[in-house]
């Protein structure tokens, strides 16, 4: 296995759209949504074990979740867990992780990926990552994976690519534009054009390429994190990072670098990807009965004249549904959520209302 290949897994989100199962103190990346005996972050870690040496896999997370990381991934060393003192979006966490890894190995090629996605075709995923890493080893470019869309989804960002390909590789295309979540009409036009892909939020680059991009497009942030080169991977790293994050702006890697750089390329990919952004995405991936009901787990759930429902409740809970169609029914820690699947986008607003009324007791 190539010793220069590294993975940086981002695991700091709170997953409020999956409330009440996902909560601030126990967010979605630490949950086994499909009853397979592995949480999302455990599955992600195992996926990258097929690409990188175990010691080359790093997790960046909020310091509140360090103990959860240690419990679910006990094989990691302290140095492989990067604790963020504040939530500052993806650019600071990638700048931190990439700079730290570069101090360990200046020849590193890094894949950056979220901890809470699911991949149906593992072999195709590994092939796409390895192809991208081979290109990144040889070229000064920033690569992202784009997923071939099969529907006009308004919940994803989109990448438009051109016919221009990277010299020496006709699979990797020059990126033309990035578009955040579009409306339905725009999403339909993207699908019809044939030159748009879903933005999977998975990036591949060499440590030197991302360093140059940070220096050019986010110079203040670059200066903040390179200022700590002498303390990375030492006992003084934590105190340095605590101060560094106070100085960082809250900005995504997409807006801070990917939309501005002129050396961004995309590899069109198809490996059964889902970002698990909503209960609807869990429903889409879960096994269903003949009338479209997805029940996790199913031991004590009884359905009568009900169809196309998503039910996620504790194993010991007896739940009986009568005459319900297209509903989401979720319970965790004595908190019950029942809503129409078509109105699920309101869950995030519901969580905000619950927090305002009851504080953090239920959130």
Tens place of pLDDT for every residue, the chain, 363 residues? 899 999 999 998 877 778 888 888 889 999 988 878 899 999 999 999 999 999 999 999 999 999 999 999 999 999 999 999 998 999 999 999 999 999 999 999 999 999 999 999 999 999 999 999 999 999 999 999 999 998 888 888 999 999 998 877 888 999 999 998 888 899 999 988 889 999 999 999 999 999 999 999 999 999 999 999 999 999 999 999 999 999 999 999 999 999 999 999 999 999 999 888 778 788 888 889 999 999 987 789 999 999 999 998 888 889 999 999 999 999 988 899 998 887 777 777 888 888 888 877 777
pLDDT at 283 (0 to 100): 86
Q: Can you tell me the distance from the alpha carbon of 189 to that of 251, in angstroms, rounded to the nearest whole number? A: 29
pLDDT at 361 (0 to 100): 77
Torsion of CA 338, 342, 343, 344, to 10 degrees: 70
Which of helix, strand or coil describes residue 81? strand
pLDDT at 250 (0 to 100): 95
Q: What is the rounded end-to-end Cα distance, in angstroms, of the chain?
A: 43
φ, ψ for residue 278, nearest 5 deg: -145, 170
pLDDT at 14 (0 to 100): 76
| H helix count then E strand count, the chain | 11, 17
Q: Which helix (H) or strand (E) holds 146?
A: strand 142-147
């Amino acid at each position: 296995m190539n010793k220069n290949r590294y993975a940086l897994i981002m695991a700091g989100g709170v997953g409020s759209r999956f409330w009440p199962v996902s909560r601030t103190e126990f967010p979605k990346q630490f949950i086994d949504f499909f009853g397979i005996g592995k949480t999302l972050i455990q599955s992600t870690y195992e996926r990258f074990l097929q690409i990188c040496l175990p010691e080359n896999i790093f997790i960046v997370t909020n310091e509140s979740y360090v103990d959860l990381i240690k419990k679910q991934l006990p094989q990691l060393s302290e140095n492989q867990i990067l604790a963020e003192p504040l939530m500052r979006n993806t650019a600071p966490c990638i700048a931190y992780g990439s700079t730290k890894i570069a101090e360990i190995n200046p020849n590193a090629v890094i894949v950056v990926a979220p901890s809470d996605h699911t991949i149906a075709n593992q072999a195709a995923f590994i092939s796409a990552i390895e192809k991208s890493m081979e290109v990144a080893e040889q070229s000064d470019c920033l690569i992202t994976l784009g997923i071939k869309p099969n529907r006009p989804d308004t919940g994803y960002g989109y990448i438009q690519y051109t016919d221009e390909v990277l010299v020496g590789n006709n699979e990797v295309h020059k990126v033309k534009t990035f578009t955040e979540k579009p409306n339905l009409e725009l999403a339909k036009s993207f699908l019809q054009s044939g030159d748009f892909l879903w933005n999977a939020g998975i990036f591949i680059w060499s440590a030197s390429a991302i360093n140059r991009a940070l220096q050019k497009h986010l110079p203040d942030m670059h200066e903040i994190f390179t200022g700590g080169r002498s303390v990375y991977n030492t006992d003084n790293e934590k105190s340095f990072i605590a101060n560094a994050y106070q100085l960082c702006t809250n900005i995504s890697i997409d807006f801070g670098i990917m939309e501005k750089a002129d050396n961004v390329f995309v590899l069109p990919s198809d490996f059964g990807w889902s970002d698990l952004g909503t209960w609807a995405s869990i429903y889409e991936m879960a096994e269903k009965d003949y009338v479209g009901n997805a029940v996790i787990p199913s031991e004590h759930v009884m359905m009568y004249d009900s169809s196309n429902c998503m039910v996620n409740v504790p194993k010991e809970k007896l739940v009986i549904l009568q005459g319900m169609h297209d509903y989401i029914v979720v319970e965790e820690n004595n908190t019950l959520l029942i809503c129409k699947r078509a109105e699920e986008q309101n869950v995030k607003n519901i969580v905000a209302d619950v927090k305002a009324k009851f504080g953090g007791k239920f959130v």
